[in-house]
Structure formats: C-alpha cells, structure tokens
Chain A
C-alpha cells in the first residue's frame, strides 16, 4: 500500500484527509470520533471570543433530486468558551499524537489579541494554526474573517502578528470573495505564512421560499447572506488552488478545499498543487465514515499506478495549467457518435442544433434505423454533445491530426507583431 503520509509545512498527518474548520470539528468528542474513523487531521472550529449563534443556520441546494449539490451556512465561529476548547484540544492531541490537530483562529485585527490567542492555543499542544481570514458572514460585519481577508495589507499585517508569537506553522485560510485570490495569497506569504489554505465559503443566498417569499434559511422572517460550499463550488476552489500553485510568488504549500467529496476530487486538488485536502460538507452529508473510501480509493489509485507515496502526485498537473493565450489554436477535436451504443434520445442533436453549431444530423441508415451523425467539417469540438449524452461511450471526442503546426494566440500575436516590425523597418 502506498504511503499516504503527508506533510504540510511541517505538520504531518497519517493521510491527506483533514476535516476543515467547521461544525464537524466543534468539539473533542467529534474530532476524536473522526480520528477513530480514520481522518488524518482536523482543523478545530475557529477559536476566538465566543459568539452568539442564531437558530436555523444551514440550507442546501438540491438539484434534480440530488441532495446537497451545494450547502450554505450562517453559523459563526465557536460558541464555546476558549478554555473548554483548549482543554479538549489537549486531550485529543494526547490521545492521537500522530494526527494533525490545527487550531483555526479569529480575533479582531489587533496585535495583542493575536499574540494572546496564539500563545494560549499553542500551549494546548496544537500542531499548527490556521488564521481564519475567510468566514464571509456575521464575523465579517465586525471587521473579522473575510472583511480582513479581502484587504491584502490586513492579511499581511495580521499574519505577521500571528507569526511573531507562533512557534508552530501558520496557515492562512483565504476567502474566495475577492477578484484575484493570488493577491491575498501573496500578502499572506509576505506576512510570513508557512502555508495557505483555500477556499473558505462563498457569499451566498441559498434560495427564496416561493410560497412565503422568505429567504432560505430565515431567522424569524429575516435572512442574511451565508457561506456557500459543497460539490457545486469545487471548480471554483480548484481554479483558485491551481492559480496559486502556478504562481511563483506563492511559494508555500497549499491546503486545498472546497467541494472535495471523494478520493477523485482529492487527487485532482493534489495534482493541482494541494499538499492535502480539507473536507466538511461531504462529512456533514454522510458522516465521518466516508473517510474509509477516501483512503481506500486514493490508496488503490496510487498502487495501480505504482506510485509509492501520495506526495509524489502533488503539483504534477500544475505545469499543464496556463493562460488561454498559451493554448494551441490548431489543436482540433470533433465529436463522433457510436451508433451501436447510442440510444437515440437525440439530446445531442437538439443541444447542438439550438445552442451550439448545428452539426448533428438526425438521419436514417440504409435499413431505415434512426441514427445521429456529426458533420465533422462543421464541428468545432465544443464537447456539448458529449456532455449532454446520457450514455457512456456513445459520443467520443476524437483528436484530429494537426492540419497546421501548433500555434498559440500569444505566438500568433508575436508573429504578427514581428511581421509589422519588419514592414516598419522597411
């Protein structure tokens, strides 16, 4: 079995699966249950000045019968006294010395406050600290969480304050509620962060009840924006991780999270540069036991490929992720329909006809059977037909031989520019 041990800026854990700082890591009881189930680490639900929570806190987005495609919450940081949390952290770490216990922290933007909480928390025996600059609701209205995480200068300054006091690695957790996450990631690095983690939740309103016209969820008739997570946000999170991973100025490890629901998702994040992954919604949906298949699936994946350590896949796909201007304009794929597999639902036809490039014909074969056929000369290789096709293997996207040598937009512009220069120089 492949070695699943991971190391995030010096914080080691038996496997890359950590529970993210959230309701599942609210107490020692829960974190210890998670470790018993097999989780490699846990980021304790954010410590700070205890807050007051409201009742009616979560909402989910279900899509076409799939429950919890997305998840929204308006719960704040821990509502338990700091001493209670620290005592339970100490007990948990004592029982599970090899598991990663990281404390998430959030205090007002004040040097003394950061120094104090860092020292108290480290005294409880944590393996590391995660600064919560991401929580988008409630706390942000008080100048904490994403409110400070959206200002690079504040990120840098507060990271620096934490680092002044910290002896364990400091991870900075970033908010996605920003135009360019690499700006705040860079600020964290400049502030001395040992690692960054992303993404926190995305500002969201889960829905509106069309019978009562009230927001979902509502608290006695009133709602407020929450933080969105779960499978629906994975592509957003994956992009942010990838953008940071390929940015040479963000030269610290990344802990990836946002919609990670299975071992495949975890591998995707790690290939795109995450040193480990954090998970919350999937556990909230199904319980801690999901970690068994996370580990089993990842381990089998690595074994099947003869990869000895999970660390060997970290960042392996990063070089393939670039800017649009570096994509080959002469690369061409076209759709090909396998009529022996096709069940003739005609969804590809209507999708292409109405919304793409009108190149799938509904025809009859010589014996009169209905068939679908792509006019390859008109196909732009958009993939839509293969996306809407409900049958595996009915539509293949086939790569055609290059008609012209590869050329990217950037190369093309450079070439055109040099031709112009020549003209000018004449």
Chain B
C-alpha cells in the first residue's frame, strides 16, 4: 500500500469508528443512580428479549459489573450488539416511566457500558450445560441462530452452526455500519457462543457446499436462521452497469479495512428509504462521496427508516428526494453510471388499512447526475432453498407456529429474518434474538422426554 493509500485508509478508519461515545465511568454511575428501580418495570416488558433492565442498572450502580453484564447477556445473547442497534426510543427507553417526569434513562448506553466492561475484561459469563447427547444443527449464524445456539448449549445440546460467510454474526457482523456497531462487538458475541462448545462451520453454504438432507439426517433437530438474501433488482434499464451497488454488499465492505475508495469524491444516489438505504447513504458519505441523495417514490411520512436514522443521515448531509421514482440508469460510453432518470410521483389516498400508493406524474421525467447508484429497496428471500426443503412458506417467508417457531416440518424450526414479513415476525435484531431463544426452548420441550426417559 502506498503512503497516500494508507493515509486515505487511516482517514476512512476514523470515519467508520463508533459515532456515539461510550459513557464514562462517572456518567454511567450517575445515570444508573437515576434509575428508579421500578417494580414490574415497563422497560422489561418493552424489551423483546425481556432483559431485567432495572436489575442490570442497579448492578452498575452497586459496582457489580459482572452481574450486570450477565443479567443482560442471559436474556439476550446478542445484548452487546443490541445495546447499539436497538431502536431504544421505541422499546425500553420509550417505556421508561421517567418519560412522564424528566427524561428517560439511557438504557441502551448503560447496556453498552456493562457489556463493554465484560468485553474489555475478558469475562466468562456462562458455562456449557451437561451434555444430553442430542444434536442440533443451526443453519445461519446471525443473531437468531447464535441466540438459539447459546440457549441450546446451556441446556447441554451438541450444537453446530453452518455459516455461509467467513465469520458468524450475520447482520451484526456484516450488515450494520461500523460506526454504529463495530465488527469486534459482534465477533465477541460469536466467541461467547463458541466458548460454550458450539461448533461454527464458516464458509459453508448449506444447499451448495453440503446438502441439507445430510445435515437433517445427522441431527435430531434443525433450526433455520438463514436471514434474507441480496437486494432485489430495480428492474430498470442500466442496472448492470459499473457503478451500481447493493447497499448490503457496500456496508459489508466497510466492516473491515481496507475500505473501498471508489466512491471518494463521487455523486451517489441511493434508491429506497429504509434503514438499509440510510446505511448505504451514510456509508457513502463516510467513504468520501461528494454528494449523496436518497430517492424515494413515496414521501417522508411513509419512509420506514427509524426517526433517529433519518435524523442521523440529515446530520451527515444526505439529501432526500421524495416522490421520485428511478426509471433508468444512464451510462457513458464505457458503461459507467453517469446519471439516473427519474419520474415524479404523486400519492393517492390510502385504501382502508393499506399503505398509500403512488402513481407517476405524466411528463415529469428528469435526470439526476450521478456516478454511483446504490440499491436499497429491501432484501430478496432465499426462495429457491426454502422450496427445496419443502417447507410451507409465503413468497419466501417460512411459515411457523408463532408460539413454538416450528415450521411445517416438526423437526425443523425457523427464526430471524427468514420468518419476517407477510404479517409475521419483526425485523429487529432483538426480536431475532428472542425468536432464537423461543425456538430453542420449544425444541428442548419437544426433545426433553426422549432423553430424560
């Protein structure tokens, strides 16, 4: 690497370090003192994994840091990641009773403080359960898979995770921007699970590198936690040109050095307005893009990104173009992106219970000059794989018993993003973690008799 390159990399590294500073000891102590230690606290109910929040905060206040970290991680095996990525104002902090008097406790930051302590101090929080002789395979080592694996390992199962990527952690490792969630945090959580005797086979794509049937026959139960696939095509001309990116792939490239430099000084447009679109946009800004615009065919009110993400993108200088539908990616003679042709949209009145639809405004085409287009209009499903398994599904969303996470095959459970959509599940990391726990517990219930007898 030339010295220029290395100085650019150094600069980029700075751009991708965590934006929210951790609480200092003093701040954490004071904030923990502010917690009322409610009885039957609403923050616990608001946490999908049911972390005993007043207890972990009280432990910070009492100086019992290990107990605090353990309280968090007991309820949520990816509690360190969640402390950073949870939409806390919609969950625990939103439910804090102090919203009615002063201001809510910084629960997310305190959770991060406690789990950071465990990471820094190399703590062993859990011990593997007494082996019970039962084997479980988990396909996918993201939040849901890790969470299920952790619970099963505590219960004494012999667990193997099959992970397609070179490292486990899924979305937390690859899909959430480093300046919110450094990869090291997610990898610590992976390590915690490994330390309980869970085998993680990375770089193994089930269905390609190893047949699903083989795994199925080798194990007593299988959990599918395969998440979602790449961003779908926009289905407009020019999509194959050089300079068109998948937002998820782009974020993944920024999770470890060396950082990509091809967006430096470029004009970037991002298509879509969910949290991934925001990630694509803010990553572009941090990769040195000259200008970043988010194009969305609906309006501000309909965007699905969290408010704090929207606010964050605005602070980063990201521009928003509402009611703008891309219709063609324009390229130069070398096949490189040089602009995007769009058409203005208008919102129709919403039919009962539905999202407002949009229709193009006739003769309103216009061109936005740009060097790169980042697609962020949701994620595809592993449809083909799911069909091969013969599991009941709805457009790639595996159908489950909501209570038990069982699929149409009673030996196969599913959790995480693979069950999200079509009115089922939740898209949050914290929900995936809870689903993993639920799958593990119900699987355990179903197997218990077979070995205790």
Q: Are B101 and A346 in contact (CB under 8 A)?
A: no
Q: Which of B30, B33, B39, B101 contacts A349 (CB 8 A)?
A: B39
Give chain A's interface residues, CB within 8 Å of chain B.
64-65, 343-347, 349-350, 362, 390-391
Q: Are A345 and B33 in contact (CB under 8 A)?
A: no
Q: How far is the CB of A365 from chain B (nearest CB, A)?
A: 16
Cα–Cα, bound, A391→B36 (Å): 11
Q: Which of B29, B37, B42, B61 contacts A344 (CB 8 A)?
A: B42
Q: Are A65 and B30 in contact (CB under 8 A)?
A: yes
8 closest Cβ contacts across the A-B interface?
A350-B39, A65-B33, A346-B39, A345-B38, A343-B97, A343-B100, A345-B36, A345-B97
Q: Which residue of B lies closest to A345 (CB)?
A: B38
Interface string of B20-49 (1 = CB under 8 A from A): 000000000110010011111110000000
Q: How far is the CB of B205 from chain A (nearest CB, A)?
A: 49
Q: Are A347 and B61 in contact (CB under 8 A)?
A: no
Q: Within B77-107, which residues are at the interface with A (CB < 8 Å)? A: 97-98, 100-101
Cα–Cα, bound, A64→B57 (Å): 13
Cα–Cα, bound, A344→B42 (Å): 9
Enumerate chain A residues within 8 angstroms of B61, measured Cβ to Cβ: 64-65
Apart from A65-B33, A347-B39: 10 A-B pairs, beta carbons within 8 A: A65-B61, A343-B101, A344-B38, A345-B36, A345-B39, A346-B39, A347-B36, A347-B38, A349-B40, A391-B101
Cα–Cα, bound, A325→B132 (Å): 68
Q: Which of B37, B39, B98 contacts A343 (CB 8 A)?
A: B98
Cα–Cα, bound, A221→B61 (Å): 28
User: In which size bucket is the chain B interface?
Assistant: 10 to 19
Q: Which residue of B lies closest to A344 (CB)?
A: B97
Question: Could you give 5 example pairs across A and B, Cβ below 8 Å?
Answer: A64-B33, A64-B61, A65-B61, A343-B101, A350-B40
Q: Which residue of A lies closest to B99 (CB)?
A: A343
Q: How far is the CB of B279 from chain A (nearest CB, A)?
A: 36
Cα–Cα, bound, A265→B370 (Å): 71
Q: How far is the CB of A40 from chain B (nearest CB, A)?
A: 36
Interface string of B421-440 (1 = CB under 8 A from A): 00000000000000000000
Q: How far is the CB of B101 from chain A (nearest CB, A)?
A: 6
Cα–Cα, bound, A347→B41 (Å): 10
Enumerate chain A residues within 8 angstroms of B33, measured Cβ to Cβ: 64-65
Q: How far is the CB of A157 from chain B (nearest CB, A)?
A: 50
Enumerate chain B residues within 8 angstroms of A345, measured Cβ to Cβ: 36, 38-39, 41, 97
Enumerate chain A residues within 8 angstroms of B37, measured Cβ to Cβ: 347
Q: Which residue of B lies closest to A348 (CB)?
A: B39
Q: Which residue of B lies closest to A353 (CB)?
A: B39
Enumerate chain A residues within 8 angstroms of B39, measured Cβ to Cβ: 345-347, 349-350
Cα–Cα, bound, A391→B33 (Å): 16
Q: How far is the CB of A18 from chain B (nearest CB, A)?
A: 34
